[in-house]
Amino acid sequence: MRLYDAADLTEEEHSALLQRPIIDSEELMGRVRPIVSAVRANGDAAIREFTRKFDRVDLDEVVLRAPFPEPQLSPKVREAIDQAYSNIHKFHSAQLGGDISVETMPGVTCARFSRAIERVGLYVPGGTAVLPSSALMLGVPAQVAGCSEIVLATPPRADGSIVPEVLYVAHKVGATAIVKAGGAQAIAAMAYGTETVPKVDKICGPGNQYVTAAKMLAQNDTAAMVSIDMPAGPSEVLVIADSTSNPAYVASDLLSQAEHGPDSQVVLLAAGITDAELAAIEEQVHEQASRLPRVAIVRQSIPKSYCLRVASVAEAIKFSNAYAPEHLILHNDRANTYVKDVINAGSVFVGPYSPESCGDYASGTNHTLPTYGFSRMYSGVNTATFVKHITSQELTREGLANIGQTVMALAEVEELEAHRNAVAIRLRDL
């Protein structure tokens, strides 16, 4: 890891550490746009073509519809998925907000109520890892929200089948269909619909830069009439450690993020620790990394990562809020006392016994989180992601009499006579 000391940095160097790698969005869109256009024009035939080209799989069918075949899983894996499902379901059920009704003045009642988004598309990545956890994190809140149509899209295996663990999750969350495709072609299929792929109203889920570009492209096309959960970039973690931190725990959390991919962002903020304490962390990173099956990926991501020495945890929190990480890990004895100071983060892992892995899989919180600094203005996926709020107002004769003059005065200011008249014509009948 590259090492910096905050006390030695210029303002420009400090700002540079807050930046993520620049993505050439125009070049990226140039690659994605033809894929999206082809799927929109040629439907299933284009999906088969791109799946053959990118995944080297010949599909017998593009869509698998419920009820799904019962997958063969070991009892250990089945029990783990069931436990994770239970925790995630419990936490996301608690997020369901009640309807509200307020009488703003006598005779004027305003209300807000929620309705589930009817058709949602959930992208579950494949490629270098099997990811039933992503299916859980997307499918459970959609199920809790009450979405009537839940469409999963995930790259097929070499024989054209769906990963058994993902298939089992699809059954548990009540998915109605599984699209056997990944990448931009899967996003386009759900955004526009094909002969067999249902069109959805919202697309959620993580993915590589091509998936993200396709989501952004579809959202900006009024013909698609689709929204997305959030923009996303490479996965990232920011760890704050001090002299009370366990070097082995710190290293394990850095590596659990680094193994995601070569473009993963890993930042360590060393708050007031000695050279010896920092060396202990670096030694643990080397020792643990050498034992990992995905050490080749770690060797690519760790050199791009950095450690910044700061004077205190308070200074580290300030830097973290400016960085706005996807995952923030507080490796301190009194970690819970610093949570109140966190302003920007996707999810916070508090204390030495709260590894990111637990949030990634089974604690109950969601792991589909804003990256690339977007935690400044976006939330992670949650139950509200899959609902919309509708307002209503009901006025009695008394209510219209009470508010009528106010409405007519404002309509006159804006020179909207028909608006004024809609009130005046009723007031004359009171």
Any idea which residues carry the catalytic annotation? 326-327
3-class DSSP string for the chain = CEEEEHHHCCHHHHHHHCCCCCCCHHHHHHHHHHHHHHHHHHCHHHHHHHHHHHHCCCCCCCEEECCCCCCCCCHHHHHHHHHHHHHHHHHHHCCCCCCEEEEEECCEEEEEEEEECCEEEEECCCCCCCCHHHHHHHHHHHHHHCCCEEEEECCCCCCCCCCHHHHHHHHHCCCCEEECCCHHHHHHHHHHCCCCCCCCCEEECCCCHHHHHHHHHHHCCCCCCCEECCCCCCCEEEEEECCCCCHHHHHHHHHHHHCCCCCCEEEEEEECCCHHHHHHHHHHHHHHHCCCCCHHHHHHHHHHCEEEEECCHHHHHHHHHHHCCCEEEEECCCHHHCHHHCCCCCEEEECCCCCHHHHHHCCCCCCCCCCCCHHHCCCCCCHHHHEEEEEEEEECHHHHHHHHHHHHHHHHHCCCHHHHHHHHHHHCCC
